[in-house]
Amino acid sequence: MNGTKLNAIALYVNFGVLALLGLFINPLLVQSLGAADFGTWKSLLRLLDLSGVADGRATQALKWIVAHRSRDNDEFELRRAITASIIMWLFWLPVLLLAISAVIYFLPSLINGLAADHLSVARWTALILGSNIILSAMVGIPDAVLIGTNQGYRSTVITTVFVVLSSAAMLVMAQAGYNLPTLALITLMTGMLNGLCTWLVARRRIAWWGLAKPARSDIVRFAGFSNWTSVWGLVQLLLISSELLLISFLSGPIAVTKYTFTSYAVQFALSICLMTGSAVTPRLGGLIGARDLKLAGSLVNQTREILLAIMTVSGAGILLLNRTFVSTWVGPEQYMGDHINALMVIAFLQLAHIRFEAQVQDVGLDISRKVLVGLASACLSLLLAGLCYYAFGSLESLYAGLIIGRLPASFVLPQLVAKLVPISPYNRRGIIGLGITAIGAILIAPFFNQHGWLAFSLTSALILIVLSGLSLACIVSPETRSVICKRWLPVRGEIAR
């Protein structure tokens, strides 16, 4: 089985494990920590992820440089790239320390309604999580190299194991009465062990693994791409985290807890879409690096169709079932309403589309225009969301502002992809099919109100079958269906063995 298939399998297994962990652990953490502390924890994780962009995104740059150059078989150049990534991390380290310090200092302003007696605990938690962010760029280097050489499945398996261990340890500590700093310490320790194990695997599985003194040209090339990657990292986190950050800033941690449960299905649907794109990008990078643009274009088109089908099934399914899912899982008081749910799904569909087109741009190593377009859209969406909220005072208006502000990226990024590989910028058939299905689901959703896990499970299975059939028939082309069958049947056989 080739690396692309193994990457996809590992990513989907990781997704399944995360989904099950979230379903089981999140409600128990809320019970142990309380809604306010749980919301504070989620807000801190997202805020510090955002500050982590200031590390220069050296590992992201390394991943795509290795993917782009891996077919050249210049092992000395690849080792120089690893050293260049370490130099870039050291260069950005003071900026990263400043960003984390700013988050810790301004916590009372960033999390609305943070109680004074919880401020010290929140700051200690942020300090420990910030230490994890500082180290993650260094321990992420072997992971980046494994992904760039199309062996990302190896590091994904390691990460999955440590996520299970970390989640279990956090749950035990929370139920024993320990507070947020203890959870942060568990995150830090498992992150370090994860990095050590990944380094050992990379050392064993990559023949050219090691360091070499980089030339000035290596540093200049790496810095140029790394700097743009850093800005794009900020853009991605703003796009993904806008809702949670704004809700934390405007409403506070209890609203963040409700958002966490209402958006749970949406977040994992987005993860499926991102993983699908990530599974093919190493191969795509190799094709573009070898100037095989025709085959690269065919791969992009096939992946677009598969993504549109996934978006259709997951988006319509969430529109129809999320109210029942949240109410049965944690109680109806944690569901934010059908209007918010519909807007969440629209924002998810838009963001999944933007992120895939951006992933294709990454492997071309010329990302400056993509970054500028994404940054403008991210800033515009935040501005419009804030203005709409203050004008109308509702979370629905906040979502409307975000969706409108992201429209430039929705239209421009596919055009940039069409300049990289010779394909049409839009899959009109898939987009129309997705739109019709989503509108139909919005109209039908008020009539779906099952009670209990049994009714939910049976209805979900039926809806999944119907939506999958419609997507394969109306969105996926016969050529792509043939590719899916040819690839899935051997994979299923190997899994069964």
H helices within 176-252, ranges in order?
Answer: 180-205, 216-250
Q: Quick one: pLDDT band at residue 64, thresholds 50, 70, 90?
A: confident
Q: Contact 307/273 with Cβ under 8 angstroms?
A: yes
pLDDT at 494 over 60: no
* 112 secondary structure, DSSP code: T
Q: Contact 348/270 with Cβ under 8 angstroms?
A: yes
Radius of gyration over every alpha carbon of the chain, rounded to an integer in angstroms: 22
C-alpha dihedral sign at 423, 424, 428, 434? positive
Of 278 and 403, the one with more pLDDT: 403
Residue-wise pLDDT for 263-281, tens only, equals 999 998 998 888 787 777 7
pLDDT of residue 161: 95
* Mean pLDDT (whole number) for 144-154: 87
pLDDT at 481 over 80: no
Q: Quick one: pLDDT band at residue 341, thresholds 50, 70, 90?
A: very high
pLDDT of residue 495: 38
DSSP three-state, residue 365: coil
Residue-wise pLDDT for 202-234, tens only, equals 999 888 888 888 888 778 777 776 677 778 778
Q: How far apart are CA 165 and CA 187, in angstroms?
A: 10
pLDDT at 130 over 60: yes
3-state helix, strand, coil split of the chain in percent (to 5) is: 85, 0, 15
Domain segments of the chain as ranges: 1-247, 263-497
Q: How far apart are CA 196 and CA 190, in angstroms?
A: 10
Cβ neighbours of residue 466 closer than 8 Å, sequence gap 6 or more: none
Least confident of 301-310, 343-352, 354-363, 393-402: 354-363
* Mean pLDDT (whole number) for 76-88: 86
pLDDT at 496 over 60: no
